[in-house]
């Protein structure tokens, strides 16, 4: 048996989360899966919180950014956003863990660096780039939460429908009832791309305004 190591512990934790959900995770289960004693874990990880941080970092660091630096900036931010979403597909149950702990490690900073470079190349000054990036991250995280939150047990049936309780009061919620079909139809990718399109176009508009108003911020 390979010697116990931090990496093996983190891998086992991710595996367990993906198989049985984030709630099922415990030091004892992880140790059992690894075939070691519980306390052996603490020789490599200070405590459970740190282990979850390590899980978040490991998942996050698997993002692969393959956007072409010479491409149009609109396409680059689109690809970067998709890369984020991709990890949520690879590790759906871990997404909540990643999102719920904010980490200040290089793994978390790397995508930020990439995005800022893209936005500043596009012509935004520092403050606007930061604000735009924040808006993007907020949108992406919110989207991922919706995607993974809607399928807490991964029942294959609720991917297309049964999202809404069937007993919505038609008179109390006329609008909801009217668009119930679309509300229930949960094509996550389509929704994600829809909002992504919106955001990118908004940024493009802002950039034009910014340029029209001369150098400096997009305030106007």
Q: Taking CB within 5 to 8 Å according to partner kind, which of its own copies, DNA, none is near residue 68?
A: none
The position carrying tokens 């939150």 is: 149
Instruction: Please give the residues from 180 up to 199 whose contact with its own copies meets the rule CB under 8 A.
Output: 181-183, 190-191, 194-195, 198-199
Give the CA distances from residue 27 to residues 5, 7, 74, 186, in Å, rounded to whole numbers and listed in that order. Answer: 14, 15, 44, 35
Token duo for residue 77? 């931010």
Residues 29 and 26: their CA atoms lie apart, in Å, by: 5
What are 101-107's contacts with CB under 8 Å, separation 24+? 101/52, 101/53, 101/56, 103/53, 103/56, 103/57, 103/60, 105/57, 107/57, 107/58, 107/60, 107/61
Beta carbon of residue 211, minimum distance to its own copies (angstroms, whole number): 16
What residues contact residue 127 under an 8 Å CB cut-off, 6+ apart? 217
100 touches its own copies (CB under 8 A): yes
Burial status of residue 65 (CB atoms within 10 A of its CB: 0-12, 13-18, 19 or more)? middle
Residue 40's binding partner among its own copies, DNA, none (Cβ under 5 to 8 angstroms by kind) is DNA
Asked whether position 102 contacts its own copies by CB under 8 A, the answer is yes
Query: Residue 37's binding partner, choosing from its own copies, DNA, none, with beta-carbon cut-off 5 to 8 A by kind?
Result: DNA
Residues 34-73 that bind DNA (CB under 7 A): 36-40, 42-44, 47-49
The tokens 């403050």 sit on which residue?
Answer: 127
213: contact with its own copies by CB under 8 A:
no
Q: What would you report as the CA-atom Rg of the chain, rounded to the nearest whole angstrom? A: 21
Q: Kindly tell me which residue out of 178, 189, 211, 216 binds its own copies, with binding defined by CB under 8 A.
A: 178
Among 38, 50, 71, 205, binds its own copies (CB under 8 A): 205
Q: Does 129 bind its own copies (CB under 8 A)?
A: yes
Contact call for residue 140 and its own copies (CB under 8 A):
yes
172 binds its own copies (CB under 8 A): yes
Residue 215 structure tokens: 């150098």
Q: Does 60 bind its own copies (CB under 8 A)?
A: no
219 near 93, Cβ under 8 Å? no
- Residues lying near DNA in the complex (CB under 7 A): 3-4, 25-29, 36-40, 42-44, 47-49
- Residues lying near its own copies in the complex (CB under 8 A): 96, 99-100, 102, 104, 106, 109-110, 112-113, 116-117, 120, 126-127, 129-132, 134-135, 137-143, 145-146, 149-150, 163-165, 168-169, 172-176, 178-179, 181-183, 190-191, 194-195, 198-199, 201-203, 205-206
């Amino acid at each position: 048996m390979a010697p116990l190591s931090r990496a093996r512990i983190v891998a086992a934790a991710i595996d367990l989360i993906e198989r049985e959900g984030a709630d099922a995770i415990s030091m004892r289960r992880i140790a059992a899966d690894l075939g070691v004693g519980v306390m052996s874990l603490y020789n490599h990880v200070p405590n459970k919180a740190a282990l979850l941080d390590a899980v978040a970092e490991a998942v996050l660091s698997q993002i692969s950014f393959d956007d072409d630096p010479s491409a149009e900036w609109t396409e680059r931010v689109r690809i970067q956003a998709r890369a984020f979403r991709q990890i949520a597909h690879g590790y759906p149950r871990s997404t909540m863990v990643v999102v719920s702990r904010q980490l200040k490690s290089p793994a978390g900073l790397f995508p930020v660096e990439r995005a800022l470079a893209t936005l500043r190349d596009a012509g935004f000054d520092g403050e606007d780039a930061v604000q735009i990036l924040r808006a993007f991250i907020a949108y992406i995280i919110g989207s991922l939460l919706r995607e993974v939150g809607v399928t807490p047990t991964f029942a294959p049936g609720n991917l297309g429908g049964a999202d809404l309780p069937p007993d919505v009061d038609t008179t109390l919620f006329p609008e909801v009832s009217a668009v119930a079909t679309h509300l229930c139809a949960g094509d996550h990718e389509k929704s994600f791309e829809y909002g992504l399109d919106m955001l990118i176009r908004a940024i493009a508009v802002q950039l034009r305004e910014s340029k029209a108003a001369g150098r400096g911020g997009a305030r106007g």
